[in-house]
Chain A
Amino acid sequence: MIEFERFKLKNGLTVLFHKDVTTPMVVINTLYDVGARDESEDKTGFAHLFEHLMFGGSVNIPDFDAPLQNAGGESNAFTSNDITNYYDVLPAHNIETGLWLESDRMLSLAFTEKSLEVQRNVVIEEFKQRYLNQPYGDVWLELRPLAYEKHPYKWATIGKEISHIENATMEDVKAFFHKHYNPSNAILCIAGNFELEEIKRLVEKWYGDIPAGIKPARILDKEPKQKEFREQIIERSVPSDAFYYAFKMPERRDPAYYIVDILSDALGREKSSRLYVSIKKEKQIASSISAYITGSLDDGLLIISGKLNPGKTFEELDKALWEVIDEMKKTTISREELDRLLIKIRTEKEFQEEGLLNRAMNLCTFELLGDANGINEEREIYQSITPKHIHHYANEILKQTNCSLLKVKAINNAE
């Protein structure tokens, strides 16, 4: 059970406080309800570029990192298609430095040309390092637009293309900040050994006078129901052929999300999973194969991906893969198999919650989903899932007409 308190400031900032008497550290986690899905199609990669600019100094503090390091702390952030999340971890007695820094950059940024210029370059190098200069690194840049026709999940967080980042202007940056970075669009979680009253006083002190702003309305193009099988082959200079089967699945808030999560585990999470045993161990068609879900807030994807063994064909794989899927659709899984999947999930969750930072981040994410207490309800939801549920969703989700297949064909093998 993760205990927490919730309060709201007049300007709309939602604050969660999680008390942990054992830690000498404090975590200050700030989730902004903005991600790559909120970008316009001709200016992609912006939420993420903006995350970099948040470290380029704020209205009253020229340098974000140095004062935090001076307080013995460190900070980082990540951007996804759904959210942007910032965190500071520092010795508990220096909590005010963290609040001072985070509140000032919520108030306003320094917006210097130099910072924009440099971070554009840094992000372009990140684009190259993670997506272009890695074998299979660009797969998601291809798979997203294949699986999504309308919804902004069709582009990756890093952006559709480098030129979008190159063309970002100061005007764009300021508009983005004013629209999305205000108290009513943020969830703050503080975790550490404090009293609630002290946290209330400190948060009011540092965040109370930040103008409220308006929580931006989110009207996204809804992804139409997929009705046909899609397939695309790309050729790349990689050592082996690779495959990515992407099936549409329900959104994060849908109870079925959890069922499909288990379904993906049954198919390909562990070395005892169905695809691994059949396609890797028994038939030896693939050198690796796994199944997982993207975990996105809107309609997500269940992915089956892997690499072919030398001399094996996409056709052999396809036949074997659908045999496993058909078996999954025909018969219900045994209680024993389901229990095996459930205890892995329970163990994993217990480890996640061992860390203070994870607890703070997850509380914010669940609050965004509607209620931070969701963190404590997950286990029961998983436990209530039955073989029948899984059988039903196997038939719902694992259909040709709900599938997009990306094949990466290896050329010029560097033997």
Chain B
Amino acid sequence: MLNRSQQPELQAIHKIDFVKPQQFDITSTVKLYFMKEVANDTARFDLYFDAGTVKGEKGIPSFVNSLLLSGTQDKSSTLIHEQIDALGGFMESGISFESAVTSMFCLRENVLPLMHILTDAIQNVAFFEREIDELVQDKKQGYLMNLEKVSFLAQRGFQQRLFHTSENYSKVANLDYYENISSSKLKSFYRENYLEGLFKVVVVGNLEQDAIDEIIDTIGKWSKPTSREFESNIKNLPGNTHIEKEGAVQTAIRLGKILFNKTHEDYNDFVVLNTVLGDYFGSRLMSNIREDKGYTYGIGSMLSEYNKFGYFMIATEVATEFKDATLKEIKFEIEKLQTELISEEEMDLVKNYLLGQLLKSADGPYSMMDLYTSAQIHGFDFEFYNKCIEDLHKITPERIKELAVKYLNWEDMTIVTAG
């Protein structure tokens, strides 16, 4: 007779087979990472530029990023898109504080022609006034729409206070942002940070070596040696701020502080603490605030990483009437972790969960590459994750409590609410 109340026996994960991408030097500073182990015809390549939002005056970096396919003297923006579409390419372009990335998703047979179209478009942007004007109008509209969202308002206010001591990281969009855009500013940022700012290339796909050689050859002529520098020692401004939004039926909450990244000795263990608190469905915050109280559709905590630092953040949207109650419960959960040891049972569950998630992050060539590059940014190899597995097997409830006391002091937190 089947015993349905008894969980089947579990096996723990002790080892993960990582597949390391091949590495090629395009120049002395620009590297190409290549993952060939793809079972089907898909491929992706990413071009990374030292063109993040902190690199330029407000608005300019994100405008240049959005104008990369806006046309050259020989080709209109529509023609470039037609050519990309005719080869089945899907282009994505993104910008963060510290870098910008342009990615192309396509079939492997189309990687080279798409690479040529893309590099030609990006290397010869004409910055047509009409394209700039159109983008200013679109972005302005997008901005006005964002102002209607409490999540945007809270995130923006949080960013200003979190990066309080850094002018570059704390600057946020506002309406005069859009009056400030001139083609000469765009062009100069473009020259400095795109024409001379390519710093990394990633290729995933079952390509032959000649194809990689051709990519290196094409990109090689472009790359200029650059050294990248980043701010450190940024401090957040602790305390509460509320941003009023009339008519909102929910309040957005953002709460957190400046912390560290993978290079810090407490990183691996803090990831476990963060998971216990708010980074999985069974977390303390989800169990209490969603599954017990029903104040929200979701609440989570996270650790964001940059080159020289990281930050910790809790984010949620709650029913307006439960704003204070939610903050109280968040504080309660943090203090509980600082004063009470978590049970062995919960400790084991979180360990097993994180090991399973790491296994999943290494499933398939695309995930494997992303896992690798997120360690490589900080100068690590897959060794980093092997150490992670080791640390996970060693962590104790005492250590969780110690880190909660050390890093989650309520008085240090920047708290922003909007609603």
Q: Mark B145-163, 1 if CB is under 8 A from A, else 0.
A: 1011110000000000000
Tell me, yes or no, whether A370 is within 8 Å of chain B by CB.
no
Q: With A and B bound together, what is the CA distance between A339 and B87 in angstroms?
A: 9
Q: Mark A100-138, 1 if CB is under 8 A from B, else 0.
A: 100010010000000001111111111011101111000
B254-311 contacts to A (CB < 8 Å): 280-282, 290-297
Q: Are B359 and A128 in contact (CB under 8 A)?
A: no
Q: Are A240 and B144 in contact (CB under 8 A)?
A: yes
**Residue among A75, A94, A118 with the highest chain B CB neighbour number at 10 A:** A94
Q: With A and B bound together, what is the CA distance between A350 and B89 in angstroms?
A: 12
B353-393 contacts to A (CB < 8 Å): 353, 355-357, 359-360, 362-364, 366
Number of interface residues of B (CB under 8 A): 71
Tell me, yes or no, whether A24 is within 8 Å of chain B by CB.
yes
Q: Are A60 and B5 in contact (CB under 8 A)?
A: yes
Tell me, yes or no, whether A284 is within 8 Å of chain B by CB.
yes
25 interchain pairs (CB within 8 A)? Answer: A59-B4, A65-B282, A69-B280, A69-B281, A71-B356, A72-B356, A72-B357, A73-B356, A90-B356, A91-B13, A122-B297, A124-B319, A133-B249, A133-B250, A133-B317, A135-B148, A206-B2, A240-B144, A284-B134, A287-B137, A288-B138, A350-B41, A351-B105, A354-B366, A356-B364
Q: With A and B bound together, what is the CA distance between A66 and B349 in angstroms?
A: 7
Chain A positions within 8 Å of B149 at CB level: 133-135
Q: Which residue of A lies closest to B3 (CB)?
A: A60
Tell me, yes or no, whether B141 is within 8 Å of chain A by CB.
yes
Q: Mark B225-239, 1 if CB is under 8 A from A, else 0.
A: 000000000000000
Chain B positions within 8 Å of A343 at CB level: 85-88, 107
Question: What bracket does the count of chain A residues touching chain B fall in?
Answer: 35 or more
Q: Which residues of B contact A (CB under 8 A)?
A: 2, 4-5, 7-11, 13, 16-17, 38-42, 77-78, 81-82, 85-90, 105-107, 134, 137-138, 141, 144-145, 147-150, 247-250, 280-282, 290-297, 317-319, 348-350, 352-353, 355-357, 359-360, 362-364, 366
Chain A positions within 8 Å of B147 at CB level: 239, 414
**Residue among B40, B85, B363 with the highest chain A CB neighbour number at 10 A:** B85
Chain B: minimal CB distance from A407 (Å): 17
Q: With A and B bound together, what is the CA distance between A123 and B291 in angstroms?
A: 11
The answer to whether residues A271 and B137 also contact, given A239-B145, A348-B90 and a CB cut-off of 8 A, is no
Q: Mark A134-167, 1 if CB is under 8 A from B, else 0.
A: 1100000000000000000000000000000000
Q: Are B88 and A307 in contact (CB under 8 A)?
A: no
Chain A: minimal CB distance from B112 (Å): 15
Q: Are B249 and A119 in contact (CB under 8 A)?
A: no
Q: With A and B bound together, what is the CA distance between A100 and B10 in angstroms?
A: 12
Q: Are A100 and B296 in contact (CB under 8 A)?
A: no
Q: With A and B bound together, what is the CA distance between A124 and B280 in angstroms?
A: 22
Partner of A129, one of B88, B297, B355: B297
- Given pairs A24-B17, A270-B81, 18 additional interface contacts (CB within 8 A): A25-B359, A59-B4, A61-B4, A67-B7, A69-B349, A72-B353, A74-B280, A74-B281, A97-B7, A104-B4, A124-B319, A125-B295, A125-B319, A133-B249, A281-B78, A343-B88, A344-B90, A347-B106
Chain B: minimal CB distance from A89 (Å): 6
Tell me, yes or no, whether A376 is within 8 Å of chain B by CB.
no
Q: Which residues of A contact B (CB under 8 A)?
A: 22-25, 59-61, 65-67, 69-75, 89-91, 93-94, 96-97, 100, 104, 107, 117-126, 128-130, 132-135, 205-206, 209, 237-240, 270-272, 277, 281, 284, 287-288, 307, 309-310, 336, 339-340, 343-344, 346-348, 350-351, 353-356, 413-415
Q: Are A340 and B141 in contact (CB under 8 A)?
A: no
Chain B: minimal CB distance from A288 (Å): 7
Q: Are A238 and B145 in contact (CB under 8 A)?
A: yes
Q: With A and B bound together, what is the CA distance between A89 and B297 in angstroms?
A: 22
**Residue among B317, B350, B356 with the highest chain A CB neighbour number at 10 A:** B356
The answer to whether residues A125 and B296 also contact, given A104-B4, A354-B366 and a CB cut-off of 8 A, is yes
Q: Which residue of A lies closest to B318 (CB)?
A: A125
Q: Which residue of B lies closest to A97 (CB)?
A: B8
Q: Are A122 and B5 in contact (CB under 8 A)?
A: no
Q: Are B8 and A23 in contact (CB under 8 A)?
A: no
Partner of B296, one of A122, A130, A281, A344: A122
Q: Are B250 and A129 in contact (CB under 8 A)?
A: yes
Q: Are A61 and B5 in contact (CB under 8 A)?
A: yes
Q: With A and B bound together, what is the CA distance between A107 and B8 in angstroms?
A: 17
